[in-house]
Amino acid sequence: MQIKTPRPLLQFQNPPAKLTDSLSAAVFVGDDLWVASDETTTVERLSTDDDLTFQHHKSFSLNGLLSLPAEGTQFDQEIDIEGLDFHDSHLWLIGSHSLKRKKVERTDGGPDAKLIKKLGTIEKEGNRFILARIPVIRNSETGEQELVGESPSGSTPILKASRLSADLTSDALSEAIRNAEGGKGDVHLAKFLDIPGKDNGLDIEGLAVAGEKVFVGLRGPVLRGWAVVLELSVDTSDSSRLGLKELEPNRLYRKHFLDLAGLGVRDLSIQGSDLLSLAGPTMVLDGPATLYRWKDALNTNSDSVVRGDRLTVEMQIPFGQGADHAEGVAIVPGSGPPSQILVVYDSPDPERKKGVVDAVRADVFALPNH
């Protein structure tokens, strides 16, 4: 497809109140655009008739498709989805895996003592600890893509929604980091597990899946200016659960350190054997949003420091003051040349919602030719 406008409209039907203000991930599955918010427990499917407006919307609640770690608790209002991808008939998603410090707004009233106490409150919201995949099937009557907990009886093979083992405070990935180095903890990352994400603690934003290789981008920590991408090998042989496989003896992940000019990873997307990394500020900051290309990333077979000719700037993405935080990037299938990318934003500028209801405008850019 070829999107015909630099600012397509994403039109939702009766969305949750925060949805259009908190888009955090995007991926195309065929011509359908799937997006997610970090404030809900749903994912959204959008399609277009005119390549100008994505006007056909359906929402899918994940509560009925996956066993969520925080289901039935006070923390069951969001998953904090920060990455989406599609591979092998499944929509993959990942939560931030981060701790949350209570927010104090500049406009909050009340006594200082109350606000100081609030700022000292840290929570573990169990649904954030999730890496999962959900089958995508095509409805035999409508022809539309749908998410299901299990593919229909008689289909071959039977596909099931599955996730890494998790509880209210961690999952198999965070425990792998905590117990690395013979139980001492990962020398680079373990100490950041107990620091809230917006304080430069561990904060996942970005997911890219290629075969058994799963790349996970970290918004934080940024280590002396170096961003981190984790490479996992995910075992899908048991259709009812995901597991982490050893990449080397006693190692469940590889670490790649990227020179993103002090920025953290906001999203990942695969193009050929390259990995596109959307980079932005860590913590609660406005600042540059830059799209990088990590060349031949999918053929990396060891820990690496990625810089120089292996890591090039594709483009600068617009950003605002207190608004337009680029969070999700998706390659438009079949576009080009040049290829197009679609970018969605958290805290969108009011201009993106001007004159529309339950809708927000994304951006489309042309990638440089390679």
- The string of DSSP letters for 305-351 reads EE-GGGEEEEEEEP--SSS-EEEEEEEPTT--SSPEEEEEEES--GG
75 within some domain:
yes
1 within some domain:
no
- Percent of the chain exceeding pLDDT 70 equals 100
194 within some domain:
yes
Q: How far apart are CA 317 and CA 348, in angstroms?
A: 13
- Tally the domains of the chain: 1
What is the chain's mean pLDDT, rounded? 95
Q: How far apart are CA 116 and CA 198, in angstroms?
A: 17
2 within some domain:
no
User: In this structure, which amino acid lies at residue 318?
Assistant: P
337 vs 232, which has greater pLDDT? 232
3 within some domain:
no
Predicted confidence at residue 303, as pLDDT, reads 97
For the stretch 331-370, pLDDT in tens is: 999 998 899 999 999 999 999 999 999 999 999 999 987 6
Evaluate if pTM is beyond 0.75: yes
For the stretch 249-260, pLDDT in tens is: 999 999 999 999
Q: How far apart are CA 47 and CA 168, in angstroms?
A: 35
Q: How far apart are CA 110 and CA 135, in angstroms?
A: 48
Q: How far apart are CA 271 and CA 30, in angstroms?
A: 15
Q: How far apart are CA 168 and CA 364, in angstroms?
A: 38
Q: What is the mean pLDDT of residues 33-58?
A: 97
4 within some domain:
no
Residue 74: pLDDT band (50, 70, 90) is confident
Q: What are phi and psi of 86, to 5 degrees?
A: -125, 130
> For residue 160, what is the domain's CATH number?
2.115.10
Predicted confidence at residue 101, as pLDDT, reads 94
Residue 69: pLDDT band (50, 70, 90) is confident
Predicted confidence at residue 112, as pLDDT, reads 94
289 vs 284, which has greater pLDDT? 289
Q: Identify whether the C-beta of residue 89 lies closer than 8 Å to the C-beta of residue 145.
A: no
Enclosing domain of residue 130: 9-366
Grouping H, G, I as helix, E, B as strand and the rest as coil, residue 87 is: strand
